[in-house]
């Protein structure tokens, strides 16, 4: 059996996907690997470009934009490797990453899934949430407040691990799970279109055994490379409630933490609509300008909350649904 099945989801990024596949093949030695590219109905020349350069790979056409979970599951269903590798199309493998990963998995039989350190293109480290509690605090939207920060830290304390490489959450840009672990934990939840599915999967993988991000396993991850519309965007407390991400995270919250936590987050998002308008209008009055000037960000926030609210009933009652915006 092959050591690794590398699954890459492509959506209208043929050059980026080809670069990713090339990095896998050029920077993998001494381990058996297959590459599976799953295309989410790109309707462009992706297949010709990628398979033209790499005819030995497996290409799967989904026939529609199936999102991250369904596309990766399609890849895992045909995978032959002992380990499943979810790999973003906007990543590059370096330094024989898969061989290092194989060595770690052999040495750590209690580790059921693992990842590596993400690097920016300039090879500096990209931060990530090691604790799911950090992510849960990040879900809340509020004006800058040290007091609220402390309250949330008290309510959602970070998990503590003796091993510094053990984590609650492996970034899905490069996530390796043993085949036996996937059989126990199940595949990705196909209710998720994009985002949130990795959080949910990490929770289920973590119930099977240890998760680790190995410090000597590194790869390049281009920031928002597969989402160019967000490149260069300045993330603020107001504009970071993006509807698709927020809906997916709420689906996960309801599933993993219950109705109470879901309702708390929804109340938070609703409450911040008048708060942000009042805050900006008060600043305008203080600056002796039109109270209704420069409210574009507030309007956009309110619109985003409106989009999210359309899914309130479905999420509240855990309706089986494909949560795609």
- pLDDT tens digits for 235-290? 566 677 899 999 999 999 999 999 999 999 999 999 999 999 999 999 999 999 99
Q: Is the dihedral of CA 146, 147, 151, 152 positive or negative?
A: negative
Q: Is the pLDDT of residue 195 over 60?
A: yes
Q: Between these two residues, 106 and 235, which has the higher pLDDT value? A: 106
Percent of the chain with pLDDT over 70: 95
- Mean pLDDT, the chain, rounded, equals 95
Please give the pLDDT value at position 279. Answer: 92
Q: Is the pLDDT of residue 6 over 90?
A: yes
Q: Is the dihedral of CA 66, 130, 318, 299 positive or negative?
A: negative
φ, ψ of residue 16 to 5 degrees: the values are -65, -45
Band of the pLDDT at 314, cuts 50, 70, 90? very high
Q: What digits encode the pLDDT tens for the residues 147-169? A: 999 999 999 999 999 999 999 99
| Number of residues written out for the chain | 325
Q: Between these two residues, 231 and 306, which has the higher pLDDT value? A: 306
Q: What is the mean pLDDT of residues 66-94?
A: 99
Any idea which fold 4-128+169-229 has?
Spore Coat Polysaccharide Biosynthesis Protein SpsA; Chain A (3.90.550)
Please give the pLDDT value at position 233. Answer: 54
Please give the pLDDT value at position 234. Answer: 56
Q: What is the mean pLDDT of residues 216-229?
A: 74
CA distance 211 to 176: 10
Cβ count within 10 A of residue 258: 10
Q: What is the mean pLDDT of residues 208-214?
A: 98
Please give the pLDDT value at position 292. Answer: 94
Region for residue 234 given its phi and psi (left: phi exceeds 0; alpha: psi -120 to 50; beta: otherwise): beta
Please give the pLDDT value at position 323. Answer: 98
Q: What digits encode the pLDDT tens for the residues 117-152? A: 999 999 999 999 999 999 999 999 998 899 999 999
What string of DSSP letters covers 178-247?
A: EHHHHHHH-S--TTBSSSSHHHHHHHHHHHHSEEEEEEEEEEEE-TTTT-GGGTTPPP-TTTT--HHHHH
Please give the pLDDT value at position 236. Answer: 67
Q: What digits encode the pLDDT tens for the residues 16-42? A: 999 999 999 999 999 999 999 999 999
Q: Is the pLDDT of residue 225 over 60?
A: no
DSSP lists the bridge partners of residue 117 as: 218
Please give the pLDDT value at position 132. Answer: 95
| pTM of the predicted model over 0.85 | yes
Please give the pLDDT value at position 240. Answer: 77
Q: What digits encode the pLDDT tens for the residues 77-89? A: 999 999 999 999 9
């Amino acid at each position: 059996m092959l050591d690794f099945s590398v699954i890459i989801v492509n959506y209208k990024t043929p050059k980026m996907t080809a670069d990713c596949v090339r990095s896998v093949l050029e920077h993998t030695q001494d381990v058996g690997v297959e590459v599976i590219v799953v295309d989410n109905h790109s309707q462009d020349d992706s297949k010709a470009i990628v398979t033209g350069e790499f005819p030995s790979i497996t290409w799967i056409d989904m026939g529609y934009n199936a999102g991250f979970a369904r596309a990766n599951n399609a890849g895992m269903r045909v995978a032959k490797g002992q380990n499943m590798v979810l790999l973003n199309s906007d990543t590059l493998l370096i330094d024989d990453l898969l061989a290092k990963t194989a060595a770690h998995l052999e040495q750590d039989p209690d580790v059921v899934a693992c990842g590596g350190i993400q690097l920016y293109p300039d090879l500096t480290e990209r931060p990530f949430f090691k604790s799911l509690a950090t992510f849960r605090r990040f879900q809340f939207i509020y004006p800058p407040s040290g007091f609220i920060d402390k309250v949330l830290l008290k309510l959602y304390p970070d998990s503590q691990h003796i091993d510094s490489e053990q984590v609650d959450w492996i970034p899905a840009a490069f996530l390796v799970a043993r085949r036996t672990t996937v059989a126990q934990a199940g595949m990705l939840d196909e209710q998720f279109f994009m985002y949130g599915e990795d959080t949910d999967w990490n929770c289920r993988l973590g119930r099977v055994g240890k998760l680790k991000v190995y410090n000597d396993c590194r790869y390049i991850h281009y920031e928002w490379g597969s989402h160019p519309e967000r490149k260069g965007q300045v993330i603020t407390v107001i504009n970071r409630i993006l509807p698709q991400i927020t809906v997916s995270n709420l689906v996960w919250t309801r599933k993993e933490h219950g109705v109470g936590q879901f309702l708390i987050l929804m109340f938070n998002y609703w409450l911040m609509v008048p708060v942000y308008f009042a805050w900006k209008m008060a600043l305008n009055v203080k600056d002796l300008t039109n109270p209704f000037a420069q409210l574009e960000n507030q309007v956009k926030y309110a619109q985003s909350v409106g989009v999210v609210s359309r899914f309130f009933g479905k999420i509240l009652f855990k309706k089986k649904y494909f949560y795609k915006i």
